[in-house]
Structure 1
Amino acid sequence: MSAFRILCVVGARPNFMKMAPIMAAFAQLKPQVEALLVHTGQHYDVAMNQQYFDALGIPSPDINLEVGSGSHAQQTAEVMKRFEPAMDEVQPAAVLVVGDVNSTIACALVAAKKGVPVIHVEAGLRSFDRAMPEEINRLLTDQLSDLLFTTEESGAENLAKEGIGGERVHFVGNVMIDTLRANLARAVPAARIAADAGRPDFKAGKGEYAVLTLHRPSNVDDKAVLQGLLETVANISASTPVLFPVHPRTRATIEKFGLSHLLDRPEVLLLPPMGYLEMLGLMKDARVVLTDSGGIQEETTALGTPCITLRNNTERPITVDEGTNTIAGNDPAHIMAAYKAQLAGAGKAGRIPHFWDGRAAERIAAIVLDWLKARS
């Protein structure tokens, strides 16, 4: 019998961390499975992408669609236009997508319309906020999918409420945690990152500093909201120095709104976007992480690092119910209250959720192979 060909799609950097262990798990099933990697080019910084691929040991993409930037509609449409010929050439047994970016829904939609089964890793997550483009991508991708893998048990409950049968859903754990566990020993210490940034004097030992990441439009596109957040960060830095890897989009809005002066202080160290091992090192030893990222909520829970989420909701409730995450929104008073609780030792200790054991990808690969055999 010939190998089952699976097209595995990545588009943005959060996808890379999820796909690395999946590709490795499928590689163990050769020659029964042939996994081909498609990079849509949604995140199109070539040097940054290569840094992630090298750090995570991801094989070079078999197909690169080189889509680039654009509005949500433009990017989604361009991925669809370029993915269809790739599918026609490969004739896969299935298309596997991860996460909730535009590439995820675009490739799932093309596959479903062509009658090719869709496998969705990280299914069932819901913020219940349809103003988030990612929420739309999650909802639609799950409806199109034939096989759905969840990271937490609430995922199956969400899918059941949306009419998705339990026979299609498998709780396997979190592939991002597979990647984290595999790379933790290689994490770059925060002190080295600070020194490389020209600040060897910066307090960056274990438990000495905070980390900030900020990129969501709801936080960075409104001057008043962004100003309030940056003023809060400046206040926090007076007692806990802050390392801030600045997203290019965030940097542009800070400059556009004339807010750079708020961070012009020795206790705030602005950094360029970080590679995976650098970001892992920053999170691992931080006293607290402040973020509006979804993945970082999960990673900090796995690391046992307190996290304050600068959003009003989360699609990863297990990080709040069992992990180290506190939802604070973007209100300065709520953020400072959460920070002061952490400073006083009243922050969350959390615990590691079930199946966040570094073996989620192995479970996925085994289930996919059995499923493909049953269909053939």
Structure 2
Amino acid sequence: MKKVTLIAGARPNFMKIAPIIHAIKSAQASGKDISYRLVHTGQHYDNKMSGNFFEQLEIPEPDVNLEAGGGTQAEQTANIMVRFERELMKNPADLVLVVGDVTSTMACAITAQKLHIKVAHVEGGIRSNDWTMPEEINRLVTDAITNYFFTTSEMANTNLRKGGVPDEAIFFVGNTMIDTLLKQRPNFRKPKIWDTLGLREQEYMVMTLHRPANVDEESQLKSLLDEVIANSSKLPLIFPVHPRTAKMLKKLNIGHERLHMVDPLGYLEFNYLVENSKAVLTDSGGITEETTVMGVPCMTLRDNTERPETITEGTNELLGTDPKAIAPAMEKLFSGNWKKGSIPYLWDGNTATRIVDKLLGFNDL
């Protein structure tokens, strides 16, 4: 029996883990010897992550919540490692599978290796080359001690090879985030604000901002919002507000009749809004992947991205953090000249099955 411990620390991690759980259950149903234990580190406390959230993703609640959230980066890393070490000693595993690039990804990989347990990294090899972002440090450290790399793109494979990873440890399988998106797409549902605001398809825009470079400085956040409002052709702007951003917006006292600041939305409701929007402005990596698959124009307000395939192949454009870049991008959008994009190879909804098939074939577990 192959025992796999799956790690999630924040909402997006569960979206990447959910299809892997489904694929493991499917393997079990066909008589394969594999079991899993789902560990939530509690890195991000989210009161919307109730039973309803797990129901939406069609997965059971975690076997354990380590409740290791809060504190500085260092305190959080230490808390996760201490608590996960206890968890692994109590419930040994043959493999610890981590996803993405949050603090939990790195902390649990280190803990597993120190207990001589092999590590698999889903989304291994992606790079922004921006060491000011904690996520980039998490990626570099995790990939330095990973045994099996499950990758989303050829660019990720190239990054790993450049770092000395042998080809036999790299498995180009696709994107589990897209597995979840394609599975749940028929279930997307209107949020309440759709009717409240009288929204119509293609006649509004969606915006999300949470990166420090955009929201931690009052003047930067104000300039970005002013430019978006001035150049968005009288369309309503739906802005689900991250808690980090909400604090700053309160200080700035920003308001406009077309700017609708709403609480964070559920997965199915948020993606309903994205799919039916004219365009999305964001500084999130995951959203650029989802817009690429749904064919929605996306403007990324960052100076770099760890997901370049959303630009080279998809519907995403990297605008940078200079507010002056917004006007020409909006002009391109409204003149009908935004690129159509295509879906990257293997982003087909079957990534998790490929991952589990590989796990079952590993003889050294």
TM-score category, normalised to shorter length: over 0.9
Find 1:332's aligned residue among 323, 339, 351: 323
Aligned-partner Cα distance in 2 for 1:339–1:71: 38
Structure 1 counterpart of 2:264, which letter?
Answer: P
- 1:319–1:325 contact (8 Å) kept in structure 2: yes
Find 2:244's aligned residue among 246, 249, 269: 249
Q: Following superposition of structure 1 onto structure 2, how do residues 281-292 of structure 1 map, counting pairs within 5 Å?
A: 281-292=272-283
Q: Following superposition of structure 1 onto structure 2, how do residues 16-165 of structure 1 map, counting pairs within 5 Å?
A: 16-30=14-28, 31-165=32-166
Structure 2 counterpart of 1:25, which letter?
Answer: A
Find 1:225's aligned residue among 217, 220, 227: 220
SS of corresponding position for 1:270: strand
* Cα deviations by residue, 1:80-99 (Å, 9 ceiling, x for unpaired): 01000110111100000000
> Which residue number in structure 1 is paired with residue 252 of structure 2?
259
C-alpha displacement of 1:49: 4.8
Aligned-partner Cα distance in 2 for 1:284–1:121: 26
C-alpha displacement of 1:68: 2.0
> Which residue number in structure 1 is paired with residue 189 of structure 2?
188
- 2:101–2:136 contact (8 Å) kept in structure 1: yes
Aligned-partner Cα distance in 1 for 2:160–2:247: 38
SS of corresponding position for 1:47: coil
C-alpha displacement of 1:50: 3.9
Aligned-partner Cα distance in 2 for 1:18–1:105: 16
- 2:17–2:99 contact (8 Å) kept in structure 1: yes
> Which residue number in structure 2 is paired with residue 209 of structure 1?
204
Aligned-partner Cα distance in 1 for 2:233–2:335: 15
Aligned-partner Cα distance in 2 for 1:162–1:51: 41
Aligned-partner Cα distance in 2 for 1:290–1:361: 29
How many aligned residue pairs are there? Answer: 362
Percent identity of the aligned residues?
Answer: 46
- 1:23–1:58 contact (8 Å) kept in structure 2: yes
> Which residue number in structure 1 is paired with residue 364 of structure 2?
375
Larger deviation: 64-73 or 312-321? 64-73
- 1:65–1:79 contact (8 Å) kept in structure 2: yes
- Tell me, which stretches of 5 or more residues in structure 1 are unaligned? none
Aligned-partner Cα distance in 1 for 2:180–2:154: 20
Aligned-partner Cα distance in 2 for 1:286–1:251: 23
* Cα deviations by residue, 1:46-77 (Å, 9 ceiling, x for unpaired): 33354432211121111110112221111111
SS of corresponding position for 2:128: coil
SS of corresponding position for 1:278: helix
TM-score by length of 2: 0.96
Aligned-partner Cα distance in 1 for 2:286–2:102: 12
Residues 166 and 49 (structure 1), Cα distance of their counterparts in 2 relative to 1, 3 Å cut:
farther
Structure 2 counterpart of 1:305, which letter?
Answer: V
Aligned-partner Cα distance in 2 for 1:265–1:335: 18
SS of corresponding position for 1:251: helix
- 1:341–1:347 contact (8 Å) kept in structure 2: yes
Find 1:8's aligned residue among 6, 13, 16: 6
TM-score by length of 1: 0.94
C-alpha displacement of 1:315: 0.2
SS of corresponding position for 1:277: helix
- Tell me, which stretches of 5 or more residues in structure 2 are unaligned? none
Aligned-partner Cα distance in 2 for 1:52–1:97: 20
C-alpha displacement of 1:238: 4.6
* Cα deviations by residue, 1:102-142 (Å, 9 ceiling, x for unpaired): 00000000001111000000111000111110000011111
Aligned-partner Cα distance in 1 for 2:168–2:226: 49
Larger deviation: 57-66 or 92-101? 57-66
C-alpha displacement of 1:43: 1.3
Aligned-partner Cα distance in 1 for 2:348–2:231: 33
> Which residue number in structure 2 is paired with residue 359 of structure 1?
350
Aligned-partner Cα distance in 2 for 1:294–1:47: 21
- 2:239–2:259 contact (8 Å) kept in structure 1: yes
